[in-house]
A and B are shown apart, each in its own frame.
Chain A
Amino acid sequence: MTRAARRVTEGTLSSKGANLRVTAAEPIGPYTLLRVAAGPIEPGAPGQFFMLHPPGHVLPRPMSLCLAEAGELGFLIDPIGPGTRTLCNLSPGQSLHVLGPLGNGFDLTVPRPLLVGGGIGVAPFPYVSRVLGAPPAILGFRSSHHAEAAVLLPGAEVVIEPTLVTALLPDEPRDVLACGPEPMLEAVRQLAPRAQLAWEAPMACGYGACYGCVVEVDGHLQRLCVTGPVLRAA
């Protein structure tokens, strides 16, 4: 992988953190769409991420922005552990500390965008799609229950395992923007060397302090939060 993409909204870190009010927590398939009043927090560029602190936990959790609507931020969360379960169980009116936007998002100045999402990797694409004017999209899920999340991206082609998103990748060259599990990103990378891939990694801080989220970039272990999370496939 190599460095890529764009960073928007420079500014001091202390000005990027705020306690926001939860406005809704809507179940979508196995996931939860957590909506918060944006307050002073900017949505940033699609593909950038935010650190959400589950109340009572030691560490925040990195989440990409799913929806940026008037005065509201939406995060699609998969309850895979104690922290994400706490986030999914928040109720309207509760307070949530949010830090962001952080990292480097997608480069959207591409002529033929194609969005490719797998599972919870659908998360950043509703926002991407709105900014790009609804380009073609392919989503893959492990079950029809998970595939309910496709409602967030109207018009997307949807496949369910054992069919994989790579089966639908067109032969003609496209500018692929992908987010999903590592095996999917690896498969997309093989087929689309110029793709922009949004990765994830366990992360304590999100702003370069902890060195916890390293991935191999240009042959060295680098902090995903600073170098990514969106990286070029090659």
Chain B
Amino acid sequence: MTVALLNASGCLDALTAPDVAAELDAFVTKTITPEPREGNPPIRIAETESGMLNSIGLQGPGIEALLAHVLPALAEQGLRVWVSVGGFSVGDYAGICERLEGRTDVEVIELNLSCPNVEEAPESSAEIVAGCRSQTSKPLYAKLSPATWDIAESAKAVVAAGADGLSLVNTMRGMALDPVTLRPKLGRGIGGYSGPALKPVALACVSACARAVDVPIVGMGGVQSGLDALELIAVGASVVSIGTILFRDPAAPARIRRELMDEATARGFRDPLEVRATANS
């Protein structure tokens, strides 16, 4: 099968779940920042009627520990690695890309331009992509927020700035209240909304971007089944990532891969990629 299946960044730790990561075509790291980060205060997780909120806040060991410890451990597991990069300025992102440039154990750099749980960089996504482009020859994927009026315009801007592909979509900012106290459930008040509720949003964003730019698209958002994955391909994705479903079903990668083939076969296709972007015409 030619459709690659990845994890959404921040939804899997290959070091605590190596057998789950081994079922993926590549492992996407949790977003790495220049310095170590403790992340946001608890409570960080809340379930809602049709999704979940998280406010992790980019907890991580920082780029130096990633280079020294995490990447060698991932290489030892034989994983193909995408590194998700975050920061608070063009310099943060570009600096990490520069450090990753010589690493043969990193295949792709995904720029997390849209974490809803931390302050945003003052510069535009296109400026960040351009800054990173000047530091690396590795494939650069821009991960965009769905919470924008015209995501196709954002897609055009980051591709023009040098992005080789798009990762669509990140979580959306959301909030949940305790029904008794009417206070926010999350320690930070707001969080990133993910899960089944995000799928229609992801389909619309992937469709709009696939019409607007001609680069590979990693589709993600609420994928729970092979049919969900096939739908993202039908609107233009060529790679599919799974996130929230991993939390309740670590066996999801093999299951979704199997279901995806079955769903394609049931419709007379030998390869799920044959349906790519067919919903857009």
Please report A residues at the B interface, Cβ cutoff 8 Å: 12-14, 17, 51, 53, 57-60, 82-83, 97, 99, 201-205, 207-215, 220-221, 226
Contact = CB atoms under 8 A, between A and B. Distances in A.
B244 A58 contact: yes
Nearest to B55: A212
B247 A204 contact: yes
Given A205-B247, A221-B59, A14 B254 contact: yes
A211 B47 contact: no
Contact of A209 (B11, B19, B39, B50): B11
A103 to B, nearest CB: 11
B250 interface: yes
B54 A209 contact: no
Contacts, number: 102
Nearest to B50: A58
A59 B59 contact: no
A59 B44 contact: no
Interface in B8-60: 10-13, 15-17, 19-20, 23, 30, 38-39, 42-48, 50-52, 54, 56, 59
A212 B54 contact: yes
Given A59-B52, A60-B247, A97-B248, A212 B17 contact: no
B45 A203 contact: yes
A181 B54 CA distance: 23
A198 B196 CA distance: 32
A10 B51 CA distance: 31
A119 to B, nearest CB: 17
Contact of B46 (A17, A60, A202): A202
B42 A209 contact: no
Given A53-B248, A210-B54, A202 B45 contact: yes
Contacts of A202: 42-46
Contacts of B30: 211
A59 B39 contact: no
A209 B59 contact: no
A208 B47 CA distance: 18
A205 B252 CA distance: 13
B42 A215 contact: yes
B246 interface: yes
A211 B54 CA distance: 9
A214 B43 CA distance: 8
B152 to A, nearest CB: 29
8 contacts: A14-B251, A60-B248, A83-B47, A204-B247, A207-B250, A208-B15, A209-B12, A209-B16
Contact of B38 (A17, A201, A221): A221
A17 B251 contact: yes
B87 interface: no
Given A204-B247, A214-B59, A58 B51 contact: yes
Contact of B17 (A59, A60, A209): A209
Nearest to B58: A211
Most buried by A among B15, B30, B43, B248: B248
B195 interface: yes
B249 interface: yes
Nearest to A16: B250
Given A12-B19, A220-B38, A226-B16, A213 B45 contact: yes
Nearest to B13: A208
Contacts of B247: 59-60, 204-205, 209-210
Nearest to B179: A81
A215 B42 CA distance: 8
A221 B187 CA distance: 14
A83 B244 CA distance: 17
Contacts of B13: 208-209
Contacts of A221: 38-39, 42, 59
A83 B45 CA distance: 14
B197 to A, nearest CB: 9
A207 B12 CA distance: 9
Given A203-B45, A226-B16, A211 B250 contact: no
Nearest to A13: B250
